[in-house]
Structure 1
């Protein structure tokens, strides 16, 4: 990849990453949603979770996350602000047990983008604009193309439901088309 870091993102490196297997390049973009605790936004808990510094005593729901080590390459907040946790050449730990188009272990081949949200809430216009901008940049700076975008629910259908039924694929693709 010609660039490991998205220039419009705040960098916050996560310890929850490792090398991609030899010869594996990211050629798939996987979209997720996340809120910590569920349905709560803007408190910085997601960033601390991906950084391995979430205090499990600050909310009863967080106790279940003790010892969980996950990350994504990017987080897009409700405001459209983007944080990058893992360089694109490295493997983030976002897909888990997954399968898509004949391949397993999709962390090896994908870039993970978490949208701050929940399955039953619409995403914001700012998030769609930010996601389109990031996606366009990825299409230009990686092996990911416009037809190589999918949902976590698609690659892990028996375990996951995100980004959820309220993620508007048409709005996403319209934002992509309207980029300068």
Structure 2
């Protein structure tokens, strides 16, 4: 995998309006793993992409009325089959973490890259998702060397009590086996 101009060459580019600039001189130093499915626990279709691009047809499902006023995004989405969609360049601040803190640092959007897995807390992720996520992680860490293994976290790690994703179905030990060790 390759990154050019803060975009992953292997990802389909679908720009989201839901981002802004990172604080000046803020280094990318964290990767946050999330999950999303729209409607909940239903996979496929373009609802996630539509949601991150503020184009979700809220009449398509009753749940969408609950999220119609949200403006959120992530840097990347890994679909069930391993397909990649990028919404925000990595050097910009995507709106994925919300109210968050890690090791005393608040506002994790300022220094993190958010990757959404199409999934749900209690639905097993696919082998393709683990493989692609590991490849993306290794590529990101080569490009942004401040992302150490201990700073690859779940949304639940930076927003405990508020968020639960990627959930108990995410196999952290397996994922950590797939990624390269810290070089430092």
TM-score > 0.5, shorter chain as reference: yes
- Find the partner of 2:158 among 149, 155, 160: 155
| TM-score, normalising length: structure 2 | 0.93
RMSD of the TM alignment (CA)? 1.5
Aligned residues: 178
Residue 75 (1) aligns with residue 70 (2)? no
Q: Is the 1:16–1:70 Cα contact (8 Å) retained in structure 2? A: yes
> How big is the shift at 1:80?
0.5
* Structure 1 position 174, deviation (Å): 2.1
Q: Structure 1: how far apart are the matches of 2:85 and 2:70? A: 20
Aligned to 1:167: 170
Pairing 1:95–2:93 present:
no
Contact kept? 1:153, 1:160, Cα under 8 Å = yes
How far did 1:151 drift?
Answer: 0.6
Shift of 1:2: 6.9
Superposition deviation, residue 23 in structure 1: 1.5
Runs of at least 4 residues of structure 1 off by over 2 A? Answer: none
Structure-2 change in CA distance of 1:48 and 1:2 (3 Å): closer
Aligned-residue offset at 1:177 = 4.5
Equivalent in the alignment of 1:33: 35
Q: CA deviation at 1:145?
A: 2.8
Secondary structure of the 1:63 match is: helix
TM-score with structure 1 setting the length = 0.95
Secondary structure of the residue aligned to 2:113 is strand
Aligned partner of 2:110 in structure 1 is 108
Give unpaired runs (5+ residues) of structure 2. Answer: none
- Mapping 1:54-65, distance limit 5 Å: 54-65=56-67
- Displacement, 1:144? 1.7
